[in-house]
């Protein structure tokens, strides 16, 4: 019986050595993901930096048309890839914006158009592309298409103003 206890203790100690490096790797991945996104964006001609205006430290970058986008990193799901952009609306009501966002979502692919929650001072329209990437380095392969789909959703939303 004592021999069984020793074997169990050895198994528990060995499993700790297997689990601890995986946890440390996960922590390194969060930091490495920021660096990787910044480097790849810059290598591909995007002006990119870490957004320090909040504690999330998203990656902010600009497209050739001057549009500002953010890559949101979910530290609990590193395969989840999200690009965000947004703008304020002052010429329509919140209810009109919700109807327009629903219509834009109905005809757009991959992208979500959402309206800020009631109680906000301004009506903020958010446009996000959300994807799952097994390998985060693959984001550069889909970035141009995701940005194009986001611009399309933006156009689908704004053409309803006419």
Packing angle, helices 139-158 and 94-107, rounded to 10: 130
Determine the pLDDT at residue 1.
57
Domain ranges within the chain, ordered by starting residue: 31-161
Q: Could you report the per-residue pLDDT of 73-85, keeping only the tens digit for each?
A: 888 888 888 999 9
Strand partners of residue 81:
73, 131
Determine the pLDDT at residue 20.
38
Q: Residue 121 phi/psi, 5° resolution? A: -65, -40
Count other Cβ atoms within 10 Å, centred on residue 129.
24
| Percent of the residues in the chain that have a pLDDT greater than 90, as a whole number | 48
Does the structure show a pLDDT above 60 at 44? yes
CATH number of this structure's domain 31-161, picked from the four choices 3.40.50.720, 3.30.1460.10, 3.30.1490.100, 3.40.190.10: 3.30.1460.10
- Which comes out higher in pLDDT, residue 59 or 119? 59
Q: Could you report the per-residue pLDDT of 4-34, keeping only the tens digit for each?
A: 555 544 444 444 444 433 443 444 466 788 8
d(CA 103, CA 125): 13
Q: Which residues of 14-37 are buried (b: 16+ CB within 10 A; e: fewer)?
A: eeeeeeeeeeeeeeeeeeebbebb
Residue 70 CA from chain centroid, whole number: 7
């Amino acid at each position: 019986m004592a021999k069984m206890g020793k074997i169990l203790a050895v198994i528990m100690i060995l499993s700790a050595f297997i689990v601890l490096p995986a946890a440390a790797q996960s922590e390194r991945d969060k930091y490495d993901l920021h660096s990787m996104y910044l480097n790849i964006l810059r290598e591909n001609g995007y002006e990119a930096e870490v957004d320090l205006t909040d504690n999330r430290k998203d990656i902010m970058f600009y497209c050739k048309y001057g549009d500002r986008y953010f890559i949101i990193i979910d530290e609990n799901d590193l395969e989840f890839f999200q690009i965000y952009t947004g703008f304020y609306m002052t010429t329509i009501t919140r209810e009109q914006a919700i109807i327009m966002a629903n219509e834009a979502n109905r005809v757009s692919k991959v992208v979500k158009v959402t309206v800020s929650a009631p109680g906000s001072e301004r009506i903020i329209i958010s446009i996000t592309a959300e994807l799952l990437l097994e390998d985060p380095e693959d984001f550069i392969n889909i970035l141009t298409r995701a940005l194009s789909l986001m611009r399309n959703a933006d156009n689908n939303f704004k053409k309803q103003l006419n």
